[in-house]
């Protein structure tokens, strides 16, 4: 019995230590989530303004044509997948990777039909375990990523479509809804869907040297900006998922400590009762 009580006490101490760690991680993720949300919101005005200008040119009565707006026969696809470098974030990475892997298996018969661009160590390791080649990868992003950190990868993916190497480019990331809800999203980035660019513009633009030349510069920047916005949303989703996961772990640890404490007290009470019974039995035996 004494040995069992020592094991229970050791389990209580271990769970208390774990609870302290998960509580600290929850608080850290909560603070990082606020900064990540602010960064994601701050990037929206720039993205919206580029989208407005592109929409204005693209809706020019059908006179403006650009390869990034034209659909073509799909022979080869590319996927840009945004994951995290670290785990302990619930289903943040698992749900996203399951979605993209299911899509790839359904759409493609062999690895020769697609290429992968991966942001995040979790995504890289996932595809390497399946012996899937990765064209470019970015790992070790800070909690406040800059556009320069992913510019090379984003530009390579967009230029691959422009050059005709890929006939479509998909962006796969976790869309941030709130701290407890992140939606794995697979969005066609290129060719740009005209419906994504619809909308009324409040300003009238004059383009020099020509709308086509402006579009040549703006469309790649727009696509790269959408990728960067997805990275910022991914960071906010990651911190939200980790905060929720660590909060749940802290609650579970609290319940486990209460259960173990109750078991320990019962065992201790039983041991005391047994000792008293043995003393009484010994006293009676001497009479």
- Specify the pLDDT at position 201: 55
Domain of 165, in residue numbers: 27-244
Phi, psi of 170 (to 5 degrees): -110, 145
215 against 89, higher pLDDT = 89
Number of domains in the chain: 1
In 3D, which of 169, 200, 203 has the Cα closest to residue 186?
169
Where do we find the tokens 């060719």? 191
Whether residue 205 is contained in a domain is answered as yes
Whether residue 10 is contained in a domain is answered as no
Whether residue 5 is contained in a domain is answered as no
Whether residue 261 is contained in a domain is answered as no
Supply the pTM of this predicted model.
0.85
Tokens of 229: 């916005």
Whether residue 145 is contained in a domain is answered as yes
Whether residue 275 is contained in a domain is answered as no
Whether residue 279 is contained in a domain is answered as no
Tokens of 144: 């406040």
Q: Does the structure show a pLDDT above 80 at 183?
A: yes
Whether residue 152 is contained in a domain is answered as yes
* Residues 110-159 pLDDT 10s: 999 999 999 999 999 999 999 999 999 999 999 989 999 999 999 999 99
CATH of the domain at 126: 3.40.1380.10
Burial of 262 per CB tally in 10 Å (0-12, 13-18, 19+): exposed
Tokens of 148: 């320069």
- Specify the pLDDT at position 54: 79
* Residues 184-195 pLDDT 10s: 999 999 988 666
In contact, 178 and 240? CB cutoff 8 Å: yes
């Amino acid at each position: 019995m004494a040995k069992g009580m020592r094991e229970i006490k050791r389990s209580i101490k271990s769970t208390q230590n774990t609870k302290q760690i998960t509580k600290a991680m929850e608080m850290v993720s909560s603070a990082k989530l606020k900064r990540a949300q602010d960064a994601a919101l701050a990037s929206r005005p720039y993205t919206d303004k580029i989208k407005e200008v592109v929409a204005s040119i693209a809706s020019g009565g059908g006179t403006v044509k650009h390869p990034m707006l034209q659909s073509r026969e799909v022979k080869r696809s590319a996927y840009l997948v945004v994951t995290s470098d670290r785990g302990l974030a619930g289903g943040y990475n698992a749900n996203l990777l399951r979605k993209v892997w299911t899509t790839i298996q359904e759409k493609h018969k062999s690895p020769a039909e697609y290429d992968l661009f991966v942001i995040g160590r979790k995504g890289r390791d996932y595809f390497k375990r399946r012996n899937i080649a990765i064209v470019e990868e970015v790992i070790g992003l800070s909690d406040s990523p800059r556009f320069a950190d992913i510019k090379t990868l984003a530009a390579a993916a967009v230029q691959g479509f422009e050059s005709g190497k890929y006939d479509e480019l998909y962006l796969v990331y976790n869309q941030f809804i709130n701290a407890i809800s992140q939606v794995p999203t697979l969005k066609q980035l290129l060719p740009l869907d005209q419906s994504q660019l619809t909308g009324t513009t409040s300003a009238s633009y004059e383009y020099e040297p020509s709308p086509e030349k402006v579009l040549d510069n703006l469309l790649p920047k727009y696509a790269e900006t959408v990728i960067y916005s997805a990275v910022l949303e991914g960071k906010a989703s990651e911190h939200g998922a980790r905060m929720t996961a660590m909060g749940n772990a802290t609650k579970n640890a609290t319940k486990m400590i209460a259960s173990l404490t109750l078991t320990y007290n019962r065992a201790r009470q039983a041991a005391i009762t047994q000792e008293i019974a043995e003393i009484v039995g010994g006293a009676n035996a001497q009479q």
